Amino acid sequence: MKEVRTRYAPSPTGYMHIGNLRTALYEYLVAKVNNGKFVLRIEDTDQSRYVKGAVDVVYSTLKIAGIEHDEGPDIGGEYGPYVQSQRKDLYLPYAKQLIDKGKAYYCLCTRERLDEMRRSLESENLPPKYDKCCMSLSRVELEEKLSSGYPYVIRQKMPEKGITSYEDAVYGTISIDNKELDDQILIKSDGLPTYNFANVIDDHLMKITHVVRGSEYLTSTPKYNLLYEAFGWDIPVYIHLPLINKPGGGKLSKRTGDPSFEDLIEMGYMAEAVVNYVALLGWSPGDDREFFSLESLCREFNIKGISKSPAIFDIKKLTWMNGEYIRKLSLDKFHQLALPYYKKASLTGQLNLIKLSEVLQKRTETFGTIPENIDFLAKLPDYDTSLYIHKKMKTNEENSLVSLKAIIPIMESIDKWENDVLFEKLAALAREMGVKNGVILWPLRTALSGKPVSPGGGTELAEIMGREETLERINIGIDKLKKQLSS
């Protein structure tokens, strides 16, 4: 039995969208579940689309996602080089082999003629398709022009009759009427191969057995297979993946603001959660399980679980899943991951940051939301006293002023500055005053945060801030309420 070999072959265009990540992940899983090899190949023959630094984005994304390649440009391997531009001298001889076999031909048409032909077809509402004009060139005429350096491309000669069919592991039998196939260019005028041609040559030379790609390539695959057949090579197993759409319909697009993997990490999503979620975009384990580590996916992934129906990328579902991952972290790990976000919020070492992490971990769904949720800890905002009015808590500006004044001596007398002790003392104060806990605790929370919503209750915030800052903010709240009520 052949060793299973898959490859992820991105073009260095500077952006790794969710569909790219899913393709890489599934290629990796197909290899690992079969004890095979996962190859990274950079397809950079289209230099017009090359973006500086894009290859680094590929490396970074795979590393953060935990997807480790067995062969690639950075680590080498038996079938290198793994960058197509470094393999450019390989392709022309194979194209000439096809010419000798009668499966390809030289095309000397000018850009002007091709543009005119395309316009003519469009005016008749016909799909753009080359008219095989150059197949009628005589050998003498062709050799004369080629020897004089006349620019040319090499086109694949497609059959004009019959049907080309193949089996896809997800979609089953796919058939295309050959008259719909265009004589695609194999070698461009600059001598470099097109993506389609280089893809086939490299997959064969690198002994790729399984090809994973999006369902948009379903109808172009016969072109690849005709090349394999022309050379007499084995055709790989094709695994076409369903589209990934937005909840309201339509494909994901960077232009419309849909996040890339890099964006999601920058927004504070955990890589493990994103990989878990992306694995489920078009694949099911066959039961209702939703949480998978990359290690468990390498054991349980099965091609049979891939769906034909479009998957829906729902950022709300990903956010929920990310929150579940956050809550499974140890407190130490959460604290370590949260520290850079505390720095963004300009928090000082005078705060009890461990306690802050303990409070936040239960309430955080993405790390990126932390700075905006805790900015009040660095500086009390200039808030309006209407925040003290809370219907459910039965508080207003008058009784909030009474509560804050009563809290001061209690806070000053507490030796052990911890949430449990603070809460117990203030709950006792509420009983003594004959009011619900909220009448005491809501004004405290408002005075300490200056915001309508804050992570943690009043006593939790007090423990985080410490005695001095807590008392200072309560006094600010008292002054604000006095001024408002006297006006």
CA–CA separation, 240 and 174 (whole Å): 11
Three-state DSSP class for residue 27? helix
Residue 121: strand, helix, or coil: helix
Beta bridge partners of 105: 155
Give the total residue count for the chain.
Answer: 487
Residue 305 identity: G
- The residue assigned the tokens 């694995």 is 279
Instruction: Give the up-direction half-sphere exposure of residue 486: CA atoms within 13 A in the CB hemisphere.
Output: 7
Angle between helices 353-361 and 331-344 (to 10 degrees): 110
Distance of CA 79 to the CA centre of its chain: 29
Coil, helix or strand for 238? strand
Radius of gyration of the chain measured on its C-alpha atoms = 32
- Note whether 246 and 258 are within 8 A (CB): yes
Q: Which residue has the tokens 């306690």?
A: 355
Q: And the tokens for 124?
A: 């008749």
- Catalytic residue positions, numbered: 254
